Amino acid sequence: MTEEWQGQLKDFVNSIERLERFINISAEERKAIESTSSTWGTTPYFASLMDPDDPACPIRRQVIPSGQENINTYGMQDYLVWKENRATEEVRPDSIARQYVDRVAFTVTQNCGVYCRHCFRKELVVDGDLSLDFNVDEGLQWLSEHPEVRDVLVTGGDPFLLPDEQLEYLIRKLRELPHVQMIRFGTRAPIVLPQRITPGLKKVLGGYHRVPIWVNTQCNHPNEITEETAKAVFELMGCGINVGNQAVLLKGINDDVETFRELHQKLLRVRIKPYYVFYCESAPGIDHFRTPVEKGAELIRDALRGHTTGLAQPMSVIATNIGKIPLMPDYYIQGKNDKEYTLRNHKGETTTIPNMPE
């Protein structure tokens, strides 16, 4: 029996003809679609959230190719090889990317429910310039030989596009490794394919276990959050899974104070905890999405910290080949001397507290 989510993938919106059912395609969009050789598209569900008449719609801009992708002034060549330390001495299967001692990213598929135009793995996922072998058993074998890895981040592509049986196998095998203490999934499914959170998937993910499962999704704009998202997240939580968000800061999409605040407030309203906001990485062909490096910290300062609950606040980071580097606002301590600290709040008011010697 075909489940609804599988129907969503079967009806994937990846042609002009299918896209026309949802929006009035602009001349520029049409030209970019006709001339691109990259993979593009999304589910009918996600396409239905597009504004039919506005080419600047934040969802259209994430999904529909743009002529600007051919302009690459600041993107790095072979970005993923650099970013995922693929050219280092340590021998690892293609599926394992490593920047840290205690945790790795384990890529299990390169298929997605949306081929994000801003994707930092676009050389692999969108452009198909990089060809890697994501053999799950090979990755599991490597993990079994690396007892220092206690935290496995399963990623892609979108791992939730795998069938229930494959996910069940993967989770079971990971949990059999005595050193694996937690499993994380990076998936846009709650946002682009909430139908994927089926009773079958819940059975695979759910239940009390020594090794918990955490999910991080990627939601970049408040328009991406619907009643369906809320229900999907609730279902995941109902089987013991925490859902966080890793937003990408995108120029003209979510880099203004109002949108940034609304995004983070709305995430909490559907029970998603903001985890990271990423600087849009220096992958090739996505210059047009990139903001200044400091923008994330500025938005946290101007839109979130103090202006709304601390629960809404993600950490602003830049992902690099040596790990994620925090880029947070730093105006809070205005001064200190032997007697006191002077602290500043979001309104610019200051206060003092005693400086106690250690």
Closer residue to ligand SF4 (CB): 93 or 186: 186
13 contacts ligand SF4 (rule: CB under 6 A): no
Stretch that binds ligand SF4, among 25-33, 151-159, 200-208, 280-288 (CB under 6 A): 151-159
Please choose which of ligand PLP, ligand SF4, none residue 153 contacts, taking the beta carbon within 5 to 8 angstroms, the exact cut-off set by kind.
Answer: ligand PLP
Region label for 128, one of left (φ > 0), alpha (ψ between -120 and 50) or beta (otherwise) = left
Tell whether residue 125 is a contact of ligand PLP (CB under 6 A): no
* CA separation for the pair 286, 66 (Å, rounded): 10
Site string for ligand SF4, 173-202 (x = CB under 6 A): ---------------x--------------
As a whole number of angstroms, the distance between CA 46 and CA 295 comes to 27
Whose tokens are 């990076």? That residue is: 186
Find the part of the chain contacting ligand PLP (CB under 6 A) among 42-50, 102-110, 254-262, 302-310.
Answer: 102-110
Return the residue of 112, 140, 170, 319 that touches ligand SF4, per CB under 6 A.
Answer: 112
Nearest partner of 104 among 87, 92, 115, judged by Cα:
92
251 C-beta neighbours (distance < 10 Å), count: 18
Q: Is residue 224 within a helix (H) or strand (E), and if so which, with residue range?
A: none
**Residue of 59, 97, 152, 280 that binds ligand PLP (CB under 6 A):** 97
Single-letter residue type at 278? F
Asked if residue 104 binds ligand PLP (CB under 6 A), the reply is: yes
**Mode of pairing for the β-strands spanning 315-320 and 333-336:** unpaired
> Minimum CB separation from ligand SF4 for residue 349, in Å?
40
Rounded CA separation 229/247 (Å) = 15
Residue 50, classified by CB atoms within 10 Å of its CB into exposed (0-12), middle (13-18) or buried (19+), is: buried
Among 100, 169, 214, 332, binds ligand PLP (CB under 6 A): 100
CA 149 – CA 137 distance, rounded (Å): 16
Distance CA 183, CA 175 (A): 8
* Binding status of residue 115 toward ligand SF4 by CB under 6 A: yes
Q: Is 158 in the site for ligand SF4 (CB under 6 A)?
A: yes
Nearer to ligand SF4, 143 or 319 (CB): 319
Least distance (Å) between residue 320 CB and ligand PLP: 9
Interacting residues with ligand PLP (CB under 6 A) = 97-100, 103-105, 153, 324
